[in-house]
Structure 1
Amino acid sequence: MLWSKQVRWEEVMAMMVVMVAVVVVVVVLMALVVMEVVVIVLPQSILHNLPPACVLIMRPGASLRL
């Protein structure tokens, strides 16, 4: 009886560890996608919409931030 309970507890812990690992991987991938969109897409759209003078003024600040 004790051995079967221990095995069940280990199985439950293993399932919890697997589920937590999957959730962590999904969250990390989502964060990477969001960071990529914020870092790459938004500055390009902002720079394309601004006049050339503002682009020249903003580019050094953007390079320093990155």
Structure 2
Amino acid sequence: MTKTISIEGMHCQHCVAAVNEALQAVPGVTIVSVSLENNNAVVEGASLDDAALKAAVEDTGFDVIAVK
């Protein structure tokens, strides 16, 4: 299963690292790719919960626009 999370508020590689770390901690996540240029994160894994992904990103201080 692959999910794309649209994120607002990332400005630098430190932001990318924070989002990457937060998403890797979500149960079921196996691969995370965060893009500063595209303002999104692509997450792969099994039984991914949209609410958990959104909460992980928002807990780092960024806004989630959509999870698709």
The TM tier, using the shorter chain, reads: under 0.3
Q: Which has the higher Rg, Structure 1 or Structure 2? A: 1
When normalised by structure 2's length, the TM-score is: 0.26
TM-score (normalizing by structure 1): 0.27
Higher helix share: 1
